[in-house]
A = this chain, B = another copy of it.
Amino acid sequence: MAVYTDINEVELKAFLAEYDTGALLSFKGIAEGVENSNFLLHTDKGALILTLYEKRVEKGDLPFFLGLMHHLSDKGLSCPLPLPRKDGALLGELAGRPAALISFLEGMWLRKPEAVHCRAVGEAAAALHLAGEGFELTRRNALDLPGWQSLWAKARARADEVSPGLQAEIDAELAHLVTCWPQHLPEGVIHADLFPDNVFFLGDAVSGLIDFYFACNDAYAYDLSICLNAWCFEKDGSYNITKGKAMIEGYLSVRSLSEAEVAALPVLCRGSALRFLLTRLYDWLTTPAGALVVKKDPLEYLRKLRFHQAVITAGEYGWPQ
């Protein structure tokens, strides 16, 4: 749920005057995205999304994110497309915040995805990896291993408030990852947050990917490991190998993986589970009571991390043997 900033009709009209959108018919704050404020606009030319970038998004990163959406869309990937203003800029300002108008994608994110959807997400992730080739801007992954260490330094002292023993467990995991984090895997643009709420479906087919505000340059196989974490566990914490197999097969139908990528998958899954454990833990400890966001349970990712710690080969995720 995210409408951090309300807007009034006077400033909205001034903002829209810089675009060629047609007449505004309605705007509604929508419960979508956790970093920004989003509004669904109807104009007499169709529907649009208005995004106000709140302070968690670095303004300097916006040209990367908005340019990437244009690049991916040009390559045939279905994703929201920032509309240029009359002066050509992709970014304006509204209510004191950087703001963009973005095409509206029909489709629904699935609260109860099944294996057929996991296969489609695997395909879409691989298609995104191929489509990102040739994009001229780059962005370091701010949530890479050094990023996790910085985050951990801010949360470590209070980790045991959330779960006794958590401090020692994360200390040990980080020490392990420092020694064996894979280097030199094939890399390029990754989505880095391809959770169910960022993948729209019409029927069983992907209609588009959204929310590129964690996109960055990193190992392709790391992006796949994020998807396995986000899509292939059941509510009871168990790994669903049918979903994992479908996702991996979907991915491989579009892009093949090297032996090094396959071998690295278990440690990449540990890393991505730790990444979400740490950001959720940090948010858990720092989000003020009364904030208009639902805090996500960090321990969901502790359970996933423990699963990955026991995995030895990618076959346990459903890799074709």
Contacts and interface: CB of A to CB of B under 8 A. Distances in A.
A297 to B, nearest CB: 15
A106 B25 contact: yes
B30 A108 contact: no
A110 interface: yes
A106 B42 contact: yes
Contacts of A31: 1, 3, 28-31
Contact of A26 (B24, B200, B289): B200
A32 interface: yes
A290 interface: yes
A92 interface: no
A273 interface: no
A198 to B, nearest CB: 14
B42 A29 contact: no
Nearest to A30: B28
A52 to B, nearest CB: 13
A294 B27 CA distance: 20
A10 B3 CA distance: 26
Interface in A249-292: 289-292
Interface string A185-222: 00000000000000010100000000000000000000
A184 to B, nearest CB: 41
A28 B32 contact: yes
A29 B30 contact: yes
A8 B32 CA distance: 15
Contact of A111 (B8, B30, B107, B200): B8
Given A30-B40, A31-B30, A292 B292 contact: yes
A20 interface: no
Contacts of A291: 290
A100 interface: no
A289 B288 CA distance: 10
A112 interface: yes
Interface of A: 1, 3, 6-10, 24-32, 40, 42, 47, 105-108, 110-112, 200, 202, 289-292, 294
Top-5 shortest CB links A-B: A8-B111, A29-B31, A25-B106, A28-B30, A289-B289
